[in-house]
Structure 1
Amino acid sequence: MKNLITALFLTLSSTAVNATLIDFEGFADTGERVELAIFTPYLEEGYEFTSTHVHAAVIDSEYSTYNFNFVGNDTDWFGFSEYNTVMLTSASGALFDLSNLTLGINAFATSSSIDIAIIGNLANGNTLISNITNISTSTLVNLDWTNLLSVIFTTSDDAGIDNINVAATQVPAPGAFAIIALGLAFIGFRKKSKNL
């Protein structure tokens, strides 16, 4: 009996997670930035970033015009301004999980620190909100949000995002449900035969 319950538990808990890192590398040429058109998504690893304003770009780490610099970060990154609402979605429309990401201030900002609001829209219609305040350098933010339809970012001043760890939301396979049903039926059958 214990072995059956253990097998059922392992079947449900052994679902593989397909983690993906969105790092913006290689999109912009060395020393350049690629400004995104309004509502034209940037696509990487099956995920889309869409911006509501022209002040959004993928920026190479060596880009130096206008003092653009993701303070504390030395890789390519996604920059956006306080005029923007930036949305992250799965390109396929599937649910996804957001583990963590790096947020930071763009040196072009007029203030010495910024605030970034992150809003996760869940499949059940609820929302999750995380307000990260007083960001003055590259900051790792752990969220561990699951079952997301989209994530929205807004900022108080010029900001940067990098190294976003996402994964497709795992749904148990139909085979797992069949094994559970068989296991429960077997347990019920054994109990019934013991009572006879």
Structure 2
Amino acid sequence: MKMRRSSLAILAVGLWAGAARADVVIDFAALAAPGAGAVAVGSPYVEDGFEFSSTSVNSAFSSWEAQSANFAGSTGLFNSAAEQTTILRKVGGGAFDLVSIALAFYSSGDGQQVPVNFTGTRADASTVQQGFVLAPTFGFHTYSFVGFEDVVSVAWVQQAGFHQFDDVRIASSSAVPEPASLAMLGVGALGAPRLARRRQARRTERR
């Protein structure tokens, strides 16, 4: 009986831990448009519980439309103002892990080296930094972060050469177990001791 209860406890912890970390991929698909230009997007832009804001006062973000020569294969976002900072935060605040991001040249005519440098800030004000140089072929390429765990914000600059971004993958600790999962766990926890007693009674009868 003790072993069964211990197993249930371990299962409960496992289910809770699995639910407590959930990957979110911000893909900007809601911005998809069939034209050949660019669509202006406000600041902050909010998707999947996260927000992107710009330090630019006069302009915010834009997205290339699907028929534009600068469309990099999927709908992305770019800061419309040169040398301005993009800041990623969780809506309402809180820590998250930045796992990866897809980056592409701002336009299809670019071919020069484009550096993109990221700074993550934690709640205790400590920081982590990582930079990437864009791949020479036009289109989105995925870049993975190291050490960007438990950050409360991530900032990067739209510096010369310029870039657009897509598929921002985030592991957030804000997710909670689904009610159905908790209900099933509760049913299992309540039913297990009863099932054990029945099995014990059957063994006794056989003797």
User: Which TM-score applies when normalising by structure 2?
Assistant: 0.66
Q: Secondary structure at the match of 1:77?
A: coil
Q: Secondary structure at the match of 1:146?
A: coil
Query: What pairs with 1:149-160 in structure 2 (closer than 5 Å)?
Result: 149-154=152-157, 155-160=159-164
* CA 1:172–1:36: 2 relative to 1, 3 Å: closer
Residue identity matched to 1:140: T
In the TM superposition, what is the alpha-carbon distance from 1:163 to its structure 2 partner?
A: 0.4
Deviations 1:161-181 (A, max 9, x none): 1001113236999xxxxxxxx
Aligned match of 1:182: none
RMSD over aligned CA atoms reads 3.1
In the TM superposition, what is the alpha-carbon distance from 1:133 to its structure 2 partner?
A: 2.2
Aligned match of 1:136: 136
In 1, distance between residues paired with 2:150 and 2:122?
Answer: 6
In 2, distance between residues paired with 1:93 and 1:134?
Answer: 30
In 2, distance between residues paired with 1:127 and 1:153?
Answer: 13
Aligned match of 2:87: 87
Deviations 1:121-156 (A, max 9, x none): 112211110111254343211115211111111133
Aligned match of 1:59: 64
Give the structure with higher Rg (CA): 2
Aligned match of 1:11: 13
Residue identity matched to 2:75: D
Higher helix share: 2
Structure 2's unaligned 5+ residue stretches are 178-207
Q: Please state if 1:41 is matched with 2:33.
A: no
In the TM superposition, what is the alpha-carbon distance from 1:107 to its structure 2 partner?
A: 2.0
In 1, distance between residues paired with 2:152 and 2:144?
Answer: 18
Q: Secondary structure at the match of 1:83?
A: coil
In 2, distance between residues paired with 1:119 and 1:56?
Answer: 19
CA contact (8 A) 2:111 2:136 kept: no
In the TM superposition, what is the alpha-carbon distance from 1:78 to its structure 2 partner?
A: 0.7
In 1, distance between residues paired with 2:118 and 2:94?
Answer: 20
In 1, distance between residues paired with 2:125 and 2:151?
Answer: 10
In 1, distance between residues paired with 2:108 and 2:61?
Answer: 13
* CA 1:25–1:60: 2 relative to 1, 3 Å: farther
Structure 1's unaligned 5+ residue stretches are 174-196
CA contact (8 A) 2:45 2:53 kept: yes
CA contact (8 A) 1:101 1:142 kept: yes
In 1, distance between residues paired with 2:88 and 2:165?
Answer: 11
Deviating more after overlay: 13-22 vs 89-98: 13-22
User: Which TM-score applies when normalising by structure 1?
Assistant: 0.69
Deviations 1:20-56 (A, max 9, x none): 110011224322532245xx20111111111123263
Identity, % of aligned positions: 20
In the TM superposition, what is the alpha-carbon distance from 1:109 to its structure 2 partner?
A: 6.5
In 1, distance between residues paired with 2:108 and 2:30?
Answer: 22
Name which of 13, 30, 33 aligns with 1:29: 33
In 2, distance between residues paired with 1:2 and 1:143?
Answer: 41
In 1, distance between residues paired with 2:11 and 2:39?
Answer: 48
